[in-house]
Amino acid sequence: MARFVGFYPCITKSVVVSFAGAAIAVGPVGGVAAAVPRSDGASDQIQTAPGTSDAPEVSALSWTVTDVGTGKLLAAKEPHLRLAPASTLKTLFALALLPQLPASTEHTAVTADISDVAPGSSLVGVKEGTNYTVGDLWRGVFLSSGNDAVHTLARLNGGMDLTLARMQTTADRLGAHDTSVRTPDGYDTPGQYSSAYDLSLFAKAGLQNPDFRRYCGTKSALFPAAGGPNSFGIQNTNRLLVGSHGVEPYPGLIGVKNGYTSEAGNTLVTAATRHNRTILVTIMNPQDNTANAVYEESRELLDWGFDAAPQALAAGQLRGPSSPAASRHPEAAHHGAGAAQASTSGNASSRLTRHLEAAVALLGLVCVPFVLKAVRRRRNRPTR
């Protein structure tokens, strides 16, 4: 016992060092700044990469700016907020099915191809008895956002169930954990959602595919391309690509995909190249109600991205509050509020844990002098 007491001061010093280290690692016990969700599940706080100027403030609930060449996320607002994606989900559809369906494959449309297209869907005009190539149908998807073309391709792929499973598998493989697929075309459906971050993953992967890149940047085409009595011209509905409805075309725009539904509002994924640098912007649900807000806000973010990209210091590191993706739950509200609240709750729990650890460390430090004093008294006590 005497031998243990003799060594005890050394042990005590180790304990003191450990407590001090824990207190330093945990940081101050005071309040920690965190993004506070609004009633619609979003926050106004913007994250930017180190070394860059402040990103412009736009009205969209969620958005990202990415340097495609380096993979750097330059700026974001609520990048993991789960929202209805509208037709921007067709980027995932194309990513999953383009490798499965050769463009030259011919198909004569039948009633079953389009029988389950939701009423009110955007259509390119697939007609029963008309012969199309798979390439025709992809142009119908990208230019006219035709849900009838999407459903026809899904049947050619082996049916709806196989198509949805392939889309979800593709999303999971890319690490797009904010995405739950319920339709192939992005039409409003309970339990279906994605995020600006995930849509940027789909676009980045898609731009590596020459077919995807060609289709998403096509401004106009004949549908079907072979001509004939049933053919007609179609134009890309991405106003930033073609320049229409009062929107000036963006220089160097590659394209990608726009969308709109009553629940999602306007959504847009755009990419442009300038001086051998490609910037990708994803915008979801602008709160500005003017007709071209989604395009003009994308323009602002693209401009900022080209200016900011050379100054970004570290890939994937953002300055400001983060919103890490939660694991996907099919029952989660696809409007995103539930996910945002869960994230906030998780942050609060994490902060509480850190504060408790700090309190224990401080308590240990406070007790050390009393322990040392007790040990000295014990060692100085006369032996009997």
User: What are the tokens at 205?
Assistant: 């992967």
For the chain, residues with pLDDT lower than 50 are: 1-42, 314-315, 321-356, 360, 362, 371, 375, 382-384
Taking the C-alpha atoms of residue 150 and residue 192, their distance in angstroms, rounded to an integer, is 17
Q: For residue 77, give the amino acid letter.
A: K
Cα 245 to the center of its chain, rounded Å: 28
pLDDT value, residue 229: 86
User: What are the tokens at 92?
Assistant: 């995932």
Taking the C-alpha atoms of residue 108 and residue 132, their distance in angstroms, rounded to an integer, is 6
298-324 residue pLDDT tens: 999 999 999 998 887 544 556 554 444
Q: Tell me the DSSP string of 7-57.
A: HHHHHHHHHHHHHHHHHHHH--SS--------TTS-----EE-TT-PPPPP
pLDDT value, residue 367: 53
Query: Across the strands, what pairs with 60?
Result: 286
Q: Tell me the DSSP string of 67-110.
A: ETTTTEEEEEESTT--B--GGGGHHHHHHHHGGGS-TT-EEE--
By DSSP bridging, strand 106-108 and strand 47-48 are unpaired
Helix (H, G, I), strand (E, B) or coil at 256: strand
Count helices and strands (H / E) in the chain. 11, 10
* Active site residue ranges: 87, 90, 145
> Are 146 and 236 within 8 A, CB to CB?
no
Other CB atoms closer than 10 Å to residue 102's CB: what's the count? 11
Cα angle 302-303-306, degrees, rounded to a multiple of 5: 85
121-176 residue pLDDT tens: 999 999 999 999 999 999 999 999 999 999 999 999 999 999 999 999 999 999 99
pLDDT value, residue 241: 98
Query: What's the pTM value of the predicted model, to 2 decimals?
Result: 0.74
Cα 321 to the center of its chain, rounded Å: 16
Tallying the residues shown for the chain, one arrives at 384
Cα angle 20-21-22, degrees, rounded to a multiple of 5: 90
